[in-house]
Amino acid sequence: MSLDKNSKIYVAGHHGLVGSAIWNNLLQRGYTNLVGRSHKELDLTDQVAVKQFFDDERPDAVVLAAAFVGGIMANSLYRADFIMMNMKIQCNVISEAYAHGVKKLLFLGSTCIYPKNAPQPMKEDCLLTSPLEYTNEEYAIAKIAGLKMCESYNLQYGTNYIAVMPTNLYGPNDNFHLENSHVMPAMMRKIYLAKLIHDGDWEKIAIDLDKRPVEGVDGYGLSRALDNRKRALEVLAKYGIYDNKVVLWGTGTPLREFLWSEDMADASVHILLNVDFKDVIGIEKYSSVHYGASTDGAVDRNHSAGRGGAIPSLGEIRNCHINVGTGKELTIRELSQLVVKAVGFEGTVEFDTSKPDGTMRKLIDVSKLHSLGWTHKVEIEDGVQKLFEWYKDSLA
């Protein structure tokens, strides 16, 4: 089901890390009829508002990149929010996309959907085979529900909704707020601030804290008032940031895979434009089961052969999502060394082993993605340097 250059594409979460990169990737490919709404303009947890948006805009395709996200600390503190907010967003957008005849929908999840002790590298088929990692269980369950919604709508109604599960992402427009950011941007900012404290560069510390305040502490008066500096140091110390020293959570031994966000965007757009549900499940006759009754290719909304998730002639269909990553990994300690090099930090990095590591290994199998015609381009060594350059530019 093809989209032409005039197709109206709604990118939900277009100001975020992935959404902004997808937006730019589509523009670069000549898809200029794009629709986006900021959170202030459209609250995706508000069912009535989402319906009104779809009534007004009638998009041909939807990229669902909006989510309520955070790292280990945020996942632990806001468990109810993580499951409820994400479920509301997904239910509202997917149901209204269906109700308004959207041709194609791309849902972005996360590889945290996989079991804590899943065989490595993790294939799509290991979903729901054993317990999840406790620290992000609610977010994972929400994302599993989202991919199952896509799968089930396809099976019941013949829609063309594809779910992609990216590995850990990093890149331009990343979240560097210490209270709810992911491992790499948090680590990078901590190391950068520890360097600035050691250098006595309070002007740059003030700029940094003005841009992204920490627990209400901003850059006001830091370059002059000693009391303000003392307060800032006390708050930063709570996040493991000291004079020429940074303390990170865990042992440093967990292995992680990272994907440059612009690579993720390129993979997403490749799938949006070139991959249909029948391609993912590898069954050509699926299209004749669901689309054959219509001469114009429109979805037959009354077709019930797939009702209940089973099309007898096709057998059981599940795990139709697509892993998106590099298939490569490194330890958190090795990542810290790359960040130290990029920042030019000459202090020490310590690990607080009393804090949780999270999942010890999270490498995904990307053979399905490769078979669909896409591989990554940016390697981690170059990506870390590029991220730090972007972060410095964001403070200018």
Could you give the residue numbers annotated as active site? Answer: 139
C-alpha 22/C-alpha 166 separation (Å) is: 13
Q: What does the alpha-carbon distance between residue 93 and residue 105 come to, in Å, rounded to a whole number? A: 10
Q: Which residue has the tokens 């277009």?
A: 14
Strand pairing category for 104-108 and 161-166: parallel
Residue 251 CB neighbour total at 10 angstroms: 16
Structure tokens, 234: 């006390």
Cis peptide before 254 (omega within 30 of 0): no
Q: What is the distance between the alpha carbons of residues 292 and 301, in angstroms, rounded to a whole number?
A: 13
**In the sheet that 255-256 helps form, which strands lie side by side, from edge to edge?**
330-331, 255-256, 361-362
Would you say 160 and 154 are in contact if contact means Cβ atoms under 8 Å apart?
yes
Is residue 69 within 8 A of residue 13, CB to CB? The reply is no
Q: Answer for the pair 63, 11: CB distance below 8 angstroms, yes or no.
A: yes
